[in-house]
Each structure stands twice: as C-alpha cells, then as structure tokens.
C-alpha cells in the first residue's frame, strides 16, 4: 500500500474508533433513536443531490437500510444510552464478524475454513469473558442489544454480498436515506415528540459537533475513503485495518471519557480481536488468487471473507 493510502486507511480507523465516544457525547443531548435519525438525515439528504441514484436494485438498498441503518444503529444507540460504555461498545459490536461468517455458512452455503471456525470460538470466549467482567457495570440487557446489533450488521453484510455495489459511498448514502424515516417514526412512538422537540430546542455546540462528526466524518469521509481503498487494493490488504477500530475505540474512551480497562477486559479484547483476525486474514497461495469485491463489507472473490464495515 502506498504511504498516502496507508495514512488514509489509518485516518478512517481513527475516525471510526473515535466515533463511539462521539456517540456517547451526543446521547447526552439527544434521545438515542432521534439522534440516529438525525445522523443519517444530515449524512444522506445533502449528498443524494450530488451523487445521483444508487447503482444497485432498490431492494438491496432498502434491505441494508433497514438491517444496518435502522436495526443495527438503533440498537447500538439505545444500548449505549442504557449504559454500555463507548470502548466496550466498539469491541462487542465486532461480534458482527462472527455473525457474518455464520450467515455466509448457513445462507450463502459457503464452506468455512478451519481458521474461521477457530476464530469464531476464540472470539466467543472473549465475549463470554466480557459478559462476566462487565455484567455489573454495564447492564446485561444492554450488552445483549449490542450483540444483536452485531447480528443485524451480519444480515446487512449478507445482503450486500448479493448487491455488490460498485460505489460504496453512493450506496451508503442511499442506505442512510432509507433509515431516516423509520428511525424518526420509532423515535416519535417510543421516545415521544416532546423529547425530540426539547432536544432540538436545546441543541448546543456540543450536539451540533456530534452530529457533524457522525454525518461528515464517520459516514461520508469514512465510507468514501474505505470504498476508494477497496477499489485500489485487494480486500485482504484493506480489511485487516478494521481490526484496529475497537482498539482505537477503547483507547479513545480511556483518554477522553476515563473508561477503565481492567486485566480481564484486556484479555477478553485480545481474544475477540485475535478471533476476528482468524476469520478475515488468510494466507495467499498464489498471486492471482481473487480480486477484491468493492462491497460495503470487504470480501475476497473466491473464498468470501466477511469483515466489519466500521462503524460507526
């Protein structure tokens, strides 16, 4: 990878890792579902007028919009609002790698490699240690919501495998647009019009900054650069950078929010990240093996490997 592109990849990792701290800050000013709706509103609406229509079938855009935009981010924001710290959320959310591989096996009928099976087992052990370690400080129900968000992310990855969008940024913008109305309706039904209106009337620079970061940096910049990298390099070159996202997320939460990382949690994090590495990294047997597919989730062409998207 060229030095400039290496820096771009690291910039995306940092943007997506810090994203979890920004979500935590924004939740102090907004109800979670309404905050998520606003994030997608500001990310999608200005951009669709410049990017044009998506280049994939609408059923894929709607499917990923509901699974990723509504279910995954809605669950994540609600879970963090109910007490899951930013660093822990950034780590547990990577359970999506496990679910994506499982869905690839059961739905797409792909044959798992031994390393993938071992990686899933190792990552699951790490998740169990997290549950045992943080069960008292983070509600187990909220942690379960983050894991469910990871499962919804896995569903969106599987749909994206069918869609094979050639333009990652354009696809993500339209996915964001699909999510706005359902999230807004859910917020009105569950959080109430008064809470949403109070949040808008009381918005301050912190809230505006959080929205701007999530919309412009985490969504448009992050996915735009990630898509560019996937078009330039094999997925096996780009995707491993995503393993750094929870490390950045936990470090940012420690530095900016004072979130402590105990020995058991550090061991659990190492198991989760190591397990994910087993599922996404494979030894190249010859140089001509598989070009990268420029989908929302990186995947090799001959033996599809599903990796995180990032994010936020």
CA-to-CA distance for 33 and 182, rounded, in angstroms? 10
Number of structural domains the chain divides into:
1
- Confidence label for 31 from pLDDT (cuts 50, 70 and 90): very high
Asked if residue 75 is part of any domain, the answer here is yes
Residue 239's pLDDT is: 67
Q: Is the pLDDT of residue 289 over 50?
A: no
162-187 pLDDT, tens digit per residue, is: 888 888 788 888 999 999 999 999 99
307 inside domain: no
Q: In sequence order, what are the beta bridge partners of 299? A: 293
Helices 205-212 and 3-26 pack at an angle, to 10 degrees, of: 140
d(C-alpha 294, C-alpha 46), whole Å:
24
300 found inside a domain: no
The Cα 245–Cα 135 span in angstroms is 23
Give Cβ neighbours of residue 46 (< 8 Å, ≥ 6 apart). Answer: none
Tell me the residue range of the domain where 136 lies. Answer: 3-281
Judge whether 179 lies within some domain: yes
Higher-confidence position of 228 and 41? 41
Buried b (16+ CB within 10 A) or exposed e, 51-68: beebebeeebbebbbbbb
**Residue given tokens 């550090």 in the structure block:** 266
Q: What integer pLDDT is reported at residue 297 of this predicted model? A: 39
The CB-side HSE value for 24 (13 A sphere, CA atoms) comes to 23
Tokens representing residue 42 in the block: 């500001």
Structure token pair of residue 5: 């592109």
Residue 290 forms part of a structural domain: no
What SS3 string covers 138-193? CCHHHHHHHHHHHHHHHHHHHHHHHHCCCCHHHHHHHHHHHHHHHHHHHHHHHCCH
Q: Other CB atoms closer than 10 Å to residue 301's CB: what's the count?
A: 12
pLDDT at 245: 84
Report yes or no on 188 lying in a domain: yes
* CB-CB contact of 209 with 23 (8 Å): no
Place of tokens 């989908």: 295
Q: For the residues 188-200, what does the mean pLDDT come to?
A: 94
Who contacts 277 (Cβ-Cβ below 8 Å, separation ≥6)?
Answer: 119, 240, 243
What is the pLDDT, as a whole number, of residue 58? 92
- pLDDT (mean) for 255-262: 79
What proportions of the chain, in percent to the nearest 5, are helix, strand and coil? 75, 0, 25
Q: Write out the two tokens for 213.
A: 């970061």
**Is the model more confident about 97 or about 93?**
93
* pTM of this structure: 0.81
The residue ranking higher by pLDDT, 131 or 201, is 201
Q: What is the pLDDT of residue 290?
A: 41
d(CA 165, CA 108): 18
pLDDT value at position 28?
92
Cα 22 to the chain's mean position, in Å?
A: 14
> Is residue 312 in some structural domain?
no
The mean per-residue pLDDT over the stretch 235-246 comes to 73
Assigned domain for 287 exists: no
Q: Which residues contact 195 (CB under 8 A, 6 or more apart)?
A: 31, 34
């Amino acid at each position: 990878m060229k030095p400039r592109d290496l820096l771009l990849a690291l910039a995306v990792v940092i943007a997506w890792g810090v994203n979890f701290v920004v979500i935590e800050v924004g939740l102090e000013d907004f109800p979670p579902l309404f905050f998520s709706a606003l994030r997608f509103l500001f990310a999608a609406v200005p951009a669709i007028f410049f990017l044009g229509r998506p280049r994939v079938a609408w059923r894929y855009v709607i499917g990923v919009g509901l699974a990723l935009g509504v279910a995954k981010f809605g669950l994540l924001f609600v879970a963090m609002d109910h007490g899951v710290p930013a660093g822990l959320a950034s780590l547990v959310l990577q359970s999506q790698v496990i679910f994506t591989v499982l869905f690839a096996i059961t739905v797409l009928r792909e044959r798992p490699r031994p390393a993938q099976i071992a990686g899933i087992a190792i990552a699951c052990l790490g998740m169990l240690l997290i549950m045992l370690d943080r069960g008292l400080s983070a509600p187990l129900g909220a942690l379960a919501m983050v894991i469910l968000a990871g499962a919804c992310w896995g569903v969106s990855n599987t749909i994206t495998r069918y869609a094979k969008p050639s333009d990652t940024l354009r696809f993500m913008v339209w996915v964001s647009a699909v999510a706005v109305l359902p999230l807004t309706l859910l917020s009105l039904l569950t959080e109430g019009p008064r809470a949403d209106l109070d949040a808008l009337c009381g918005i301050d620079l912190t809230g505006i900054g959080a929205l701007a970061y999530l919309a412009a940096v985490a969504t448009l910049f992050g996915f735009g650069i990630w898509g560019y990298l996937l078009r330039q390099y094999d997925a096996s070159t780009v995707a491993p950078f995503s393993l750094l996202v929870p490390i950045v997320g936990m470090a940012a939460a420690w530095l900016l929010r004072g979130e402590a990382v105990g020995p058991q949690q550090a061991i659990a994090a190492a198991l989760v990240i190591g397990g994910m590495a087993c599922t996404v990294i494979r030894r190249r047997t010859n140089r001509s093996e598989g070009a990268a597919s420029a989908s929302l989730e990186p995947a090799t062409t001959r033996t599809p490997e599903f990796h995180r998207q990032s994010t936020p």
